[in-house]
Amino acid sequence: MNKKTIRKILGGFKSYVPGGLSIHGTGGTDSARYCYTIWLRHLLMLHQNGFSKIPKTIAELGPGDSIGTGLAGLLSGSEKFYALDVIEHTNLEKNISIFDELVRLFANYSDLPGDDEFPRAVPRLDSYNFPSKIFANDDIERSLDKSRIESLRNELIDMEKQKKSIQYMCPWNDPKIIENDSVDLVFSQAVLEHVEDLKHTYDSMYRWVKQGGYISNAIDFESHGLSNEWNGHWSFSDLTWKLMKGNRPYLINREPLSKHIEAAHDAGFETISIIPVKTFPSDEYTGSIRRDELAKKFVNMSEEDFTTASAYILAKK
């Protein structure tokens, strides 16, 4: 094994903490403002593409540090929320604190935190004003009814027993945990790049979603700190990658944009909107690798895949 390969492996070790979590953590879901802006971005993309109602039943893959994004969905009018994770990160006190702050954000019709506050968040929007057009006929007032807020808060406190509006399932690995054709929207934020079996995951989402329902996924294709270049993970051989992954329960799957589009189509979805992002955080990465540095596995990668650092994909059943 040459010195360059050893440096790659050691670099990957330094970028990760025990337990297999990236230095990026599980995302920003420990912040109510992050959960608020992420949920409303997904909701806005739905409305811009023909889904004019608040989805009644929603499911999130990989909620992470809290279930705050799904709670934002409930506060905007959704009635049922499934939180599906592989490793349990969430805790009671954090969820309650985020819930209370989310109530205040919605009650004040607060604008969405924008790119200045969360520069890595996608999809990016033309306007971050509160989307009043989505909430016609006093929808927010009904969603924030005092008795409803009290009921949701009590369910958070006793989430293990009540399971009326919120179901937290960890680990999930069987699509049968959710009834077929029962969910209006499945969404995720910087999660699907960690999924080892894309086919299983997209097939599961297809089973859950109602006819006419949607999946809304923001995917991060960067190396997650495992290399100096944002796409350096595509330069690692399979052996090097296996050594870097070790016994971690998950890392990243290294699959580019086209593989997700293919998996969605193979499952039966119709892609409605694909928004690639070509920029990467210059404070985290030195740049991009050259095409001649791609590992054998990726040598025929398209230019679109090679230059897409993240993307938002909306698809319909």
pLDDT at 265: 98
- Tokens found for residue 80: 């049922």
Model confidence at 4, pLDDT cuts 50, 70, 90, reads low
- 65 three-class SS: coil
Q: pLDDT at residue 101 above 50?
A: yes
Tell me the residue ranges of DSSP E strands in the chain.
57-61, 80-84, 166-169, 183-189, 209-220, 270-277, 310-316
Strand-pair partners of 209: 183
Average pLDDT, the chain: 90
Q: What are the tens digits of pLDDT across the range 137-193? A: 778 999 999 999 999 999 999 877 767 999 999 888 888 999 999 999 999 999 999
Cα 317 to chain centroid, rounded: 19
pLDDT at 7: 56
Q: Which of 125, 130, 127 is nearest to 109 (CA)?
A: 130
3-state secondary structure of 272: strand
- Rounded to the nearest angstrom, the gap between the alpha carbon of residue 223 and the centroid of all alpha carbons in its chain is 16
φ/ψ of residue 214, rounded to 5:
-130, 160
How would you label 125-162 residue by residue, b for 16+ Cβ within 10 Å and e otherwise?
beebebbeebbeeeebeebeeeeebeebeebbeebeee
Interval 183-209 mean pLDDT: 97
d(CA 68, CA 31): 8
User: How many alpha carbons fall within 13 Å on the CB side of residue 120?
Assistant: 17
Average pLDDT over residues 189-198: 96
For the chain, the structural domain boundaries read 3-316
Supply the pLDDT for residue 14: 43
Q: Which two three-digit tokens encode residue 57?
A: 């039943």
Predicted confidence at residue 249, as pLDDT, reads: 74
Q: What is the pLDDT of residues 102-115, one digit of tens each?
A: 999 999 999 999 99
β-pair type (310-316, 270-277): antiparallel
DSSP annotation of 102: H
Q: Where does 3-316 sit in CATH, by number?
A: 3.40.50.150
Q: Please provide the size of the chain in residues.
A: 317
Structure tokens belonging to residue 300: 């025929």
Residue 140 contacts by C-beta under 8 Å, 6 or more apart in sequence?
76, 77, 106, 107, 109
pLDDT value, residue 11: 54
C-alpha–C-alpha distance, residues 229 and 94, integer Å: 34
302 pLDDT band, cuts 50/70/90, is very high
Tokens 């924008």 sit on residue: 114
